[in-house]
Structure formats: structure tokens, C-alpha cells
Amino acid sequence: MVFSVGLEYFFNPEPKPVLEIVRKKDRLRFPDSPDAAKVAYYFESLDFPVPNRELNSYLAEFEPVKLDRARLHAHPGIEFLHLMTGKLELLAGEDHHEIAEGDAIYFDSSVLHGYRRMGSVRTTALVVTLGPRD
């Protein structure tokens, strides 16, 4: 420590923001796959304009899809999902997990996984992903 600051202060000219507000009106909504005929879910980035962010957070709204149409994907890191409304099935590897409103799940997102809305109730979730740590 020199002058009550670490060495990174002298080598990083852009200070990290203390906070960043992302207004609802400024968020963009995207389908899970722009090329697909049927959308499985829509997502909005809740933190997109934040520079050098260390995690990614989304508001997801799930559409009704058949079990064989759930889009499976994988990405390095971890994923956290908090189901705010509705009922959801999480497919992770060979396992199927039913998640009810208010439930949360934390898992290794490098495992092939996907989601399927269960029932006709609007289904929304807060999804947070964190890439691998160095």
C-alpha cells in the first residue's frame, strides 16, 4: 500500500464504477435463439452497460415448449436461478428438476442444461451467471 491505495490504482487508469443503475426503459429483450421458429424463452440483460462486470444477470420469461424442444446449452462457470413466478423444469445432464415459484437453484453451468415452462402461468426468473475464475 502506498498513499492508502494499492498498486492497481497506478496501472488501471479507469476506476471501476461504485454503482451503475440500469433503468427498465433502457433494457433490451432478446429471444433465446433468433434463428429458431419457436422461442423457448426471452431474456433481458439487467447489467449490460456496466463495464468490466464480473457476473451477468438476466430477467427471463419462459414460453411454453414441448420437452423435446427445450434448448440445451452449456457454458463455463456457474448459474443461479430464482423463480419469481410460475413453474419450471430444469434439465441438467440426465436429471430433471421441478422448480416452483420462490425456489432457487445453483449449479455448474458447464453441464448441458435447458429449461421448460410447466403449465400456462406466466413464468419468470432472475438468472445470474458467473464465468470461470482464474
pLDDT in tens, 91-104: 999 999 999 999 99
Q: In this model, does residue 2 exceed pLDDT 60? A: no
Domains within the chain, CATH numbers bracketed? 8-130 (2.60.120.10)
CA–CA distance, 54 with 59 (Å, rounded to integer): 17
Q: In this model, does residue 109 exceed pLDDT 90? A: yes
Neighbours of 125 (CB within 10 A): 25
- 21-57 core/surface letters (b: 16 or more CB in 10 A; e: else): eeeeeebeeeebeeeeeebbbbbbbbeeebeeeeebb
Look at residue 71 in the predicted model and tell me its pLDDT. 79
What integer best gives the mean pLDDT of the chain? 85
Confidence of residue 10 (pLDDT cuts 50, 70, 90): low
Rg over CA atoms, the chain: 18
Look at residue 6 in the predicted model and tell me its pLDDT. 67
Look at residue 1 in the predicted model and tell me its pLDDT. 47
> Region 66-84: what's the mean pLDDT?
86
Q: In this model, does residue 4 exceed pLDDT 70? A: no
Look at residue 112 in the predicted model and tell me its pLDDT. 95
- Residue that wins the pLDDT comparison between 50 and 101: 101
